[in-house]
Structure 1
Amino acid sequence: MLAYPELAAIRLGYGLSPLSSPPADPEALVAAIRTAGPDGDAFSVARDHLPHRSRFSDLNRSTAPDKDAQVQALRDIVRDIGARAPRIRMARAVGDAGGFGERLVQFWADHFTVTDGSVFDVVTAAAFVDEAIRPHLMGRFADLMVAAETHPRMITYLDQVTSIGPNSPAGKTGRGVNENLAREMIELHSLGAGSGYGQRDVRQLALLLTGLTFRPNRDGASFYNWNWAEPGSFEVLGKTYRRDRRKDEIREVIEDLAAHDATARHIARKLAVHFVSDDPPDSLVQRLAQAFRDSRGDLPTLYLVLAEAPELRDCFRQKLRQPFDYVVAALRGCGFAQADIMALEERAFRNLLLGGMFVMGQKWGSPRGPDGWPEDASAWATAQGLAGRIDWAMRMLPKLRPDLPDPRAFMQAALGDSASDALRWAVPKAESPAEGLAVILASPDFNRR
């Protein structure tokens, strides 16, 4: 039987690495999530976005003869800042000994999806992960949700910056209410589709949210513009919220959404689908949902239920790795360290790693919509996607590491005792190290976790 550390590394982390030993038991695995918190490379809206956006606004008003050159130089600076984001994320995933923490960063960043967009949006999207996701990995779901919904990137991505109450002091502008944030808060981020809410709930929540906005000339945080706020009372899912300067109605409604029974079921199923199976056993979903209810959304409690789940073994190899997961697992198996990824030349990183992911069907920072990347294997196991994986294994990986490891050593390093007899038979018969590595990286053993 596959030992627990190997099982957890493959199922809940980014795979095995010859450079580190995975945590020995579920408790240690959950404790190791703390290493995925913000570090010295964390992005900040206030530091990495605002000064440059302010300078951009000044240049747009400028009449200087070299204005265009200055604008382009500024864009280049911001682009270089943003280019660090995928490199840091991949490097941290490659170097995370436990792996579970960085997988959870990826999971929650996808649950609360934002996209890159413009060069300035790339920076705020990176800050979203470091300011809204990482600090709350080991806290309450409600706090994570508040941080995500009110972050400047979420507000700009879902057009909350255009939402003005029709009866507010600024209502005469005619811009009106935008329902995007309200809809995704209910449908994607908390209760889930088909959970009993109606259009009236969405509309009332959108009216309640008017006034929540972001301006790039402030201090880097979202703020409340009372001139845009719709006055009065709002009924969302049967509860009335009254506009009151003495309290935070937005936090109150998010707390209530986070505590809803449908939210417990929705989050439980999403965790089970992402980490265990496209069609997870109902027993696992029920246990996760009950843990969510009993702990009032305490995330480490959910993680421990998942880490202890017998379904990790029962549903082994039932999840197809997404391209990011696939690339990181391959790099870990080859013995790459976090510092190795940070040391790569920019062109090699973009062409061989991000470019490889793109050919496999996953363009960094560009999920198809607010619902994030698809979970179902059929979305990734396409002819083009699988051909992209083989091409990356045969052509791009050798450029990253010309001194390829012996395929048998790589098989043991990446798969441990989980490698099938068929793969153990085939690998030694490869005609070259590159071909042997490709056999492993194209196998169901490696592509499925």
Structure 2
Amino acid sequence: MSMFNSAMTPAAIALNRFGLGARPDDAVPGDAKSWLLAQFKRYEPLPAPWQAQPRTPVVWNALVAQQREVRTAAASEKQAAQQAFRRESRDDYLAAVGARAASALATPAPFVERLVHFWANHFAVSVDKVAVLGLAGAFEADAIRPNVLGRFEDLLLAGVRHPAMLLYLDQAASIGPQSPQALRVAERQPARRRGLNENLAREIMELHTVGVRSGYTQADVTEFARALTGWSVAGLGGAEAHADGETPFQFRPMLHEPGARTVLGRSYGEPGEQQARAILHALATAPATAQHIAAKLARHFVADEPPPPLVEKLAAAFTRSGGDLPTVYRTLVDAPEAWQPQPAKFKSPWEWSVSSLRALGRHDVPALQAANLLNQLGQPVWKPGSPAGYDDIAATWAAPDALVRRVEVAQRLAAQAGDAVDARSLAPRILPGSLTQATATAVARSESPAGALALLLVSPEFLRR
């Protein structure tokens, strides 16, 4: 143990930087890299907490039915129907938050579970839009979790086609200006205007694929948005929803803008839905996308200012493999830059909360408690407030007032644990080989078990990874 500077051992790096934090009952990995890579086989796309949640088609059809009740309610009953809709959506949201937390606490594959959280934030939806409130959990369960160990293109397509994304970015309301539907409306109701919406096209290019510095233009965004017209969800506007076993995605030809599109210098003349799919394929496999994804992964796992050589390694693996994500993850695990002993990353509120509960040996947490905890710490689940998702850099999360809130939460968690957890014996198990002399001494001298535990949870070693 050093007196001042914390240095992480390979085991601590595997458990805390790549994983979600050590549990007191975890065996310390002897071969850290092998332990991480073996998790690809142990990962469960839908573990028990998620299996208890309804799948996307069921959630969507229930939302369609609720919206129909609101729409058809008498004027005197409309407000009550709207309140019931919000209440049921809120219940779905809280149940999904509980499933997410329980999954993170009990997973046998914490490295892959962290990757789920990374990609859910990369393809961010936000529940501050009421239509997304009941769908955000299903988005993570059905678009992200099954594809986290697949190809990036499949993950991208699953995210873009999910009703949570289509509603969040207003794609379901986008109509081609020269589409059959637009021409029909213009003829019958000249004063009514519904047109092209560029939100989804812009965010796919700026955030999900090539990145803002890749050189695309506003014209590229507009052309891509035209290609995406018709990508919608069954059951909107009073139409019948699909059966519960079917995906809610629906291509609506009457909304699609006819004609070829030119995006990033290439022409796409494919018919209907295939036009946007062809553009998505080109974006998913573009060199700029490889660079963008590589930089985000390196920033998340290694440093707020990621080492350029690491970014290049990850981008090369992405390109060489055609966007095979496990190949990229293996390259990350093999990279010396990822194993530097200095804990360069400051935990976000979600990361710190999960690692704290794991350190206390918790396997689940009441859904409302989990939601309230993250609200207090400033990172409500699935509510980043923008399509860019939450930042994962220290400047966003390490402000003095934010640290005060963590101290308050740590004290509350420690009080709940009571005398059942001995911080002195716990510390070396959750920070194997990485506990500083200063923290060990402070924990040992604490006047109460709860005080010692709270101090451990907000120690410099535990706040970083």
| Shared fold per TM-score greater than 0.5 | yes
Picking from 172, 188, 212, the partner of 1:193 is 212
**More displaced 10-residue stretch of structure 1: 263-272 or 358-367:** 358-367
Q: Is the 8 A contact 1:398 1:404 kept in 2?
A: no
Q: Is the 8 A contact 2:125 2:132 kept in 1?
A: no
Q: Is the 8 A contact 1:332 1:414 kept in 2?
A: no
Q: 1:125 to 1:61 in 2, by over 3 A?
A: same
What is the root-mean-square deviation in Å for CA atoms of aligned residues? 2.2
**More displaced 10-residue stretch of structure 1: 369-378 or 42-51:** 42-51
Could you say which residue in structure 2 is the equivalent of 1:155? 166
- 1:238 maps to 2:265: yes
The secondary structure found in structure 2 opposite 1:14 is: coil
Q: 1:142 to 1:95 in 2, by over 3 A?
A: same
1:433 positional shift: 1.1
Q: 1:182 to 1:222 in 2, by over 3 A?
A: same
Could you say which residue in structure 2 is the equivalent of 1:12? 18
Could you say which residue in structure 1 is the equivalent of 2:408? 391
Q: Distance in 1 between matches of 2:379 and 2:453?
A: 22
Q: Distance in 1 between matches of 2:227 and 2:67?
A: 32
1:103 positional shift: 0.5
Q: Distance in 1 between matches of 2:281 and 2:81?
A: 45
Alignment of 1:42-441 (within 5 A): 42-63=53-74, 72-73=83-84, 75-117=86-128, 120-172=131-183, 173=185, 174-216=193-235, 217-219=240-242, 220-245=247-272, 248-314=274-340, 316-337=342-363, 340-341=364-365, 344=366, 349-351=367-369, 353-394=370-411, 396-441=412-457
Which amino acid is 2:123 matched to? F
Q: Distance in 2 between matches of 1:119 and 1:162?
A: 16
Q: Distance in 2 between matches of 1:3 and 1:166?
A: 59
Q: Deviations over 1:241-260 (max 9, x none)?
A: 11415x72222111110110
Q: Distance in 2 between matches of 1:119 and 1:373?
A: 19
Q: 1:71 to 1:257 in 2, by over 3 A?
A: closer
Q: Deviations over 1:71-90 (max 9, x none)?
A: 65555444323211111111
Structure 1 stretches of 5 or more lacking a match? none
Structure 2 stretches of 5 or more lacking a match? 1-6, 186-192
Tell me the percent identity: 37
The secondary structure found in structure 1 opposite 2:95 is: helix
Which structure is richer in relative contact order (CA contacts within 8 A, separation 6 or more)?
A: 2
Q: Is the 8 A contact 1:390 1:442 kept in 2?
A: yes
Q: Distance in 2 between matches of 1:309 and 1:422?
A: 31
Q: Distance in 1 between matches of 2:413 and 2:315?
A: 41
Q: Is the 8 A contact 2:64 2:241 kept in 1?
A: no
The secondary structure found in structure 1 opposite 2:267 is: strand
Q: Deviations over 1:351-371 (max 9, x none)?
A: 4x3323223221222103111
The secondary structure found in structure 2 opposite 1:287 is: helix
Q: Distance in 2 between matches of 1:333 and 1:314?
A: 23
**More displaced 10-residue stretch of structure 1: 305-314 or 14-23:** 14-23
Q: Distance in 1 between matches of 2:21 and 2:153?
A: 30
Could you say which residue in structure 2 is the equivalent of 1:38? 46
**More displaced 10-residue stretch of structure 1: 37-46 or 22-31:** 22-31
Q: 1:4 to 1:317 in 2, by over 3 A?
A: closer
The secondary structure found in structure 2 opposite 1:354 is: helix
Q: Deviations over 1:98-137 (max 9, x none)?
A: 3111101110000000011356522211111111101111
Q: Distance in 2 between matches of 1:70 and 1:198?
A: 44
Q: Is the 8 A contact 1:43 1:130 kept in 2?
A: no
1:31 positional shift: 3.6
The secondary structure found in structure 2 opposite 1:329 is: helix
Q: 1:125 to 1:29 in 2, by over 3 A?
A: same
The secondary structure found in structure 1 opposite 2:134 is: helix
Q: Distance in 2 between matches of 1:203 and 1:63?
A: 40
Q: TM-score, normalised by structure 2?
A: 0.88
Q: TM-score, normalised by structure 1?
A: 0.91
1:399 positional shift: 4.9
Q: Deviations over 1:371-396 (max 9, x none)?
A: 110122011011111000001011x2
Which amino acid is 1:424 matched to? A
Q: Distance in 2 between matches of 1:198 and 1:138?
A: 32
1:224 positional shift: 0.9
Q: Distance in 2 between matches of 1:421 and 1:373?
A: 34
Q: 1:60 to 1:287 in 2, by over 3 A?
A: same
The secondary structure found in structure 1 opposite 2:262 is: strand
Q: Distance in 2 between matches of 1:421 and 1:401?
A: 24
